[in-house]
Amino acid sequence: MNDERLTVTQAADDTAGPRPGPHRPGRPDHPLQPDRPEQPDQPEQPEQPRGRRRRGPGPVTLLLLPALVTVTGVAAFLALGGLPSPGSDDDSATDPSAAVDIDPSYIPWLRRAASACTVLEPSVLAAQIDQLSGWSDDSDELSGQKGIAAFTDDEWRTWGKDDDGNGRSSPRDPADAIMALGRRDCSLAGKVTELRTEGRINGDLVELTLAAYAVGEDAVTEAGRVPSAAKTYLAEVRALLPRYEALDREDSGGGAGGAAGALLTAPVSPLTITSPFGSREHPLTGVTKLHTGVDFAAPQGAQVVAARRGRVVFAALTSAYGNRIVIDHGTIQGKRVETTYSHLSSLGVAVGQTVEAGAPIGRVGSTGLSTGPHLHFEVILDGYYTDPRPWVVPNGV
């Protein structure tokens, strides 16, 4: 397979960043000014129309008027009767709780970022990002905010890290941005939790955290609750939350890339995870990078099988992955899906071969950069690494 987005023979720490979504207006500048009473807008004086001679209805109008009255009456009847007007879509078109498709590669990062503290949920971070940027990494030239989490350069120096292990720390890398937003929110959550424990503020911890994000913790402390200056921001985030509530359940694969129901066969049995998908310190190099798959414990020589019917597009020895197999499964739920099997002691298939789900393809080993026998298993969606767990087993492993 000639896929320029991902070279399967690269080291395990190679990653690919996800793609932006549609643009949405960003968050208010930080910090916002304290509450001030708003001055009511003065109504504009309507321009006096120039006098002109009035004309009576013409003959065409007199002929069409009865028909227009009839059509208007029918439309009013349909509206009052609760029937949809012609050409209208069903309610799901405007239902704010309808599911929103986001890049599935974001999901493990949202969960990892939210897991840094007990106050946050992945849905909260997702709703924040939706409000801030609409999942678009287009920069805001006027405010200086960058990436999907709308960080300024000063903010990034405080919160940004190279979480995805691609060699750079950038607010334009979605994984870096999601993790940085999680760190910032968790820091604020810790502060408002302490303030509430001391009795200096009162309210829901999530709302207090979001308010501190919007207007600053000092404004929250001064108000003793969610300040009115933060209520618009809170309302916008709260309105978006229903779209992302499924992310708070570990069996959610997210959007079109979801895999509830185990779309892939377990590559080894039993399934015991020794290292999950996500950022970690490499056990051999000591470098913290993205672990692009999951490690399943298995003894030397254990049988490895294909997770789904597909065509073998790579089967060879590499320096980092050792003996590695890549299988192209075609399109599943609108996404191009590939699976990889690494550190094998032996290869049982060749490039170009078609295999069925559950067919033997190799045996567990410890070739390449490995500390012992295990299977490193990856799922790649449209060229991007994603967490394999929801694809292999419902409700995770």
Look-up of token digits 């993790």: 179
Q: Which amino acid is at 351?
A: V
Q: Give the span between the Cα atoms of 105 and 386, in whole angstroms.
A: 5
Give dist(CA 236, CA 168) in Å, integer: 32
Looking at residue 255, its pLDDT comes to 36
User: In total, how many domains does the chain have?
Assistant: 2
Same domain, 244 and 355: no
Nearest partner of 237 among 113, 110, 123, judged by Cα: 123
Q: Using the structure block, give the residue that is written with the tokens 């399934």.
A: 271
Q: Which residue has the tokens 């694969």?
A: 253
Which amino acid, 42?
Q
Q: How far apart are CA 393 and CA 397, in angstroms?
A: 6
Q: Distance of CA 117 to CAs 161, 175, 186, 209, 374, Å?
A: 18, 18, 6, 12, 31
Going from the C-alpha of 351 to that of each of 192, 198, 219, 311, the distances in angstroms are: 57, 65, 62, 8
40 SS3 class: coil
In a domain, 186, yes or no: yes
**Residues 176 and 275 occupy one common structural domain:** no
- How many beta carbons lie within 10 A of that of residue 72, not counting itself? 10
Structure tokens belonging to residue 228: 């009115």
Can you give the pLDDT at residue 182? 94
Please report whether residue 337 resides in a domain: yes
pLDDT in tens, the chain (397 residues): 444 334 333 333 343 344 334 444 444 444 333 344 444 444 444 343 333 344 445 554 555 555 554 545 444 444 443 333 333 333 333 333 334 568 888 888 998 898 888 788 999 999 999 999 898 877 555 668 899 999 999 999 999 999 888 889 999 999 999 999 999 999 999 898 888 767 788 888 899 999 999 999 999 999 999 999 999 999 999 999 999 988 887 543 333 333 334 589 999 999 899 988 887 676 666 667 678 899 999 999 999 999 999 999 999 999 889 999 999 999 887 778 999 999 999 999 999 999 999 999 999 999 998 889 999 999 988 777 888 888 886 444 4
Q: What is the pLDDT of residue 142?
A: 61
Q: Model pTM? A: 0.44
Query: Residue 180: how many CA atoms within 13 Å on its side-chain side?
Result: 29
pLDDT at residue 302, rounded to an integer? 96
The reported pLDDT for the residue numbered 5 is 39
110 and 214 inside one domain:
yes
Return d(Cα 42, Cα 341) in angstroms, integer. Answer: 69
Does 31 sit behind a cis peptide bond, omega within 30 degrees of 0 on the bond before it?
Answer: yes
| Confidence (pLDDT) at 250 | 52
Indicate the residue among 221, 248, 275 that finishes a domain. 248
CATH number at residue 376: 2.70.70.10
Question: How far is Cα 123 from Cα 59, in angstroms, rounded to an integer?
Answer: 62
| Domain region containing 358 | 262-392
DSSP H or E run through 362: strand 360-364
Co-location of 140 and 235 in the same domain: yes
Q: Is 357 helix (H, G, I), strand (E, B) or coil?
A: coil
Write down which residue in 225, 248, 271 finishes a domain. Answer: 248
Do 348 and 273 lie in a common domain?
A: yes
